[in-house]
């Protein structure tokens, strides 16, 4: 939520994605995939066309 009169939009967060179990995934694979899909740096890297989130460490 933003302060009144600040002129900024409130910060929005995308909804958390859930990963369905099954398809031969182990619990640790499911946890990693869930964390990966919900990582804001991964989303930004995809948007900018980088192959991985590590690109932000190199820039």
This prediction's pTM? 0.55
> Is there a contact between 33 and 19 (Cβ–Cβ < 8 Å)?
yes
- pLDDT recorded at residue 23: 74
What is the number of residues in the chain? 59
Q: Within a domain: residue 15? A: no
Q: Within a domain: residue 38? A: yes
How many domains does the chain divide into? 1
Which has more pLDDT, 10 or 27? 27
Q: Within a domain: residue 1? A: no
| Structural domain boundaries enclosing 39 | 27-58
Q: Within a domain: residue 48? A: yes
Q: Within a domain: residue 51? A: yes
Residue 28 has pLDDT above 70, yes or no: yes
The span from the CA of 39 to the CA of 53, in Å, is 9
Rounded to an integer, the average pLDDT of 4-19 is 62
Q: Within a domain: residue 12? A: no
> Is there a contact between 42 and 36 (Cβ–Cβ < 8 Å)?
yes
Per-residue confidence band for 59, with pLDDT thresholds at 50, 70 and 90 = confident
Rounded to an integer, the average pLDDT of 16-24 is 74
- pLDDT recorded at residue 14: 65
């Amino acid at each position: 939520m933003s302060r009144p009169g600040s002129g900024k939009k409130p910060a929005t967060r995308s909804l958390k994605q859930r990963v369905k179990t099954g398809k031969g995934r182990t619990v640790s694979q499911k946890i990693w995939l869930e964390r990966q899909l919900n990582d804001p740096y991964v989303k930004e890297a995809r948007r900018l066309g980088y192959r991985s989130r590590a690109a932000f460490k190199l820039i």
